Amino acid sequence: MTTAYDVPAESLITEVSKDLKENDKIIVPDWARFVKTGVHKERRPENPDWWFVRAATLLRRIYVDGPVGIMRLQTKYGGNKDRGTNPEKFKRGSGSIIRVALQQLEDAGYVAKTERGRVVTPEGQSYLDNKAAEIAKDIPELSKY
């Protein structure tokens, strides 16, 4: 059985983001056109579909890391802030973007909230595994999976 671990992350995220774009539960907020993804960034994302890509990466990250909270995800999506002549300093990513995207994934039924953090539901796990199986069929090097 092919799982999300068996296919390249980039391929899986691309396919899942295309599907999330068609999902009526995942809606780009009005403010998403103007925000940066963290204080360490200088500009907003250039990809017009960045919201769906971020939601797909969050879904995969929760699948891989198990119960995970927003603080840990902020650390994952953070980076070094350029402070001019001072040394760079690590800053966490935007919590609002992560929080709203996770709430939308919860409404879609892919993620559930527990005491230890967010986890992928059986529906979400099945969805990601089925997508991984489709991708594995298209890539001949992955035929052994």
Average confidence (pLDDT) over 126-138: 89
Pairing state between β 86-91 and 111-114: unpaired
Q: For 54, phi and psi rounded to 5 degrees?
A: -65, -40
Q: What is the pLDDT of residue 142?
A: 66
* pLDDT greater at residue 142 or residue 115: 115
**Measured distance CA(121)–CA(105) in Å, rounded:** 10
Domains and CATH numbers, the chain: 9-142 (1.10.10.10)
Confidence of residue 144 (pLDDT cuts 50, 70, 90): low
Q: Distance of CA 23 to CAs 38, 41, 90, 125, Å?
A: 26, 28, 34, 17
Q: What is the pLDDT of residue 42?
A: 87
Average confidence (pLDDT) over 64-89: 92
Q: What is the pLDDT of residue 145?
A: 55
Confidence of residue 84 (pLDDT cuts 50, 70, 90): very high
Q: What is the pLDDT of residue 139?
A: 77
pLDDT exceeds cutoff 70 at 90: yes
Q: Distance of CA 51 to CAs 12, 46, 75, 110, 137, Å?
A: 16, 11, 18, 16, 27
Pairing state between β 111-114 and 117-120: antiparallel
CA atoms within 13 Å, Cβ hemisphere of 85: 0
